[in-house]
Amino acid sequence: MTNKEEIEILSTQIKWEPIASDGGMTEQMYLSSDKELTALKQYLGAELPDDYVWFMKNIGRRFFNDDRIHMKLNGVSLSCLDWFRDAVDVLTFTKMASEKDDDGDLQIPANLLIISDSISRDNFLLDVSSEHYGKVWFRHHDAKWRMMNAERADGLVLVANSFSDLSSKIIKNTSPSDIDFNFSSDDKIV
């Protein structure tokens, strides 16, 4: 079974928030078009994984309504993963995060897409590099947290080997944990 076939099956097994049909919203407004996905590919200079493309064209920008999201993968709580962005948002946020900061450093490493982010600016990233093609990484907003918990020098933690693998792990979670966020010692809760 291909990743594209797998994500088609897996996507039906995740509980999603219903599409808000009031106010004129339609299902098409949640989906990414070929034109939007092409713009994303052109910006990256790389093909997008088939499973991710299928998801963006058929499920799209959707919020989770599934308690199975409350789990940890490689020490990262997925509780902060509440939705996936559409191609327009992915391109916009990836471009912004790919710009150099005040120190001249990239905010995210090259060849990564921000497919989701949390209110605290944690990122879930899809890798399109030849070395790690299709893998899904987590990047915490706090540099100290990244230094202590990341498995790579660039501060990333692997959460899944593909977009389909991430979906599969959520579906297979038979014991959702309490809601947990990836707080660092410097985070202030008000």
Chain center to CA of 15: 17
Start-to-end CA span in the chain (Å): 47
- pLDDT score recorded for residue 105: 58
- pLDDT score recorded for residue 189: 39
The whole-angstrom separation of Cα 45 and Cα 47 is 7
- pLDDT beneath 50: ranges in the chain: 187-190
- pLDDT score recorded for residue 51: 96
Domains and CATH numbers, the chain: 3-171 (3.40.1580.10)
Look-up: residue for tokens 């450093």? 105
Q: Give this prediction's pTM.
A: 0.87
The whole-angstrom separation of Cα 142 and Cα 184 is 7
Chain center to CA of 18: 20
Distances (CA, A) of 98 to 66, 101, 103, 104, 107: 31, 9, 13, 11, 6
The whole-angstrom separation of Cα 74 and Cα 90 is 24
Task: Give the contacts of 166 (CB within 8 A, at least 6 positions apart).
Answer: 136, 159, 160
- pLDDT score recorded for residue 26: 74
- pLDDT score recorded for residue 185: 53
Closest C-alpha to 8, from 48, 41, 52 = 52
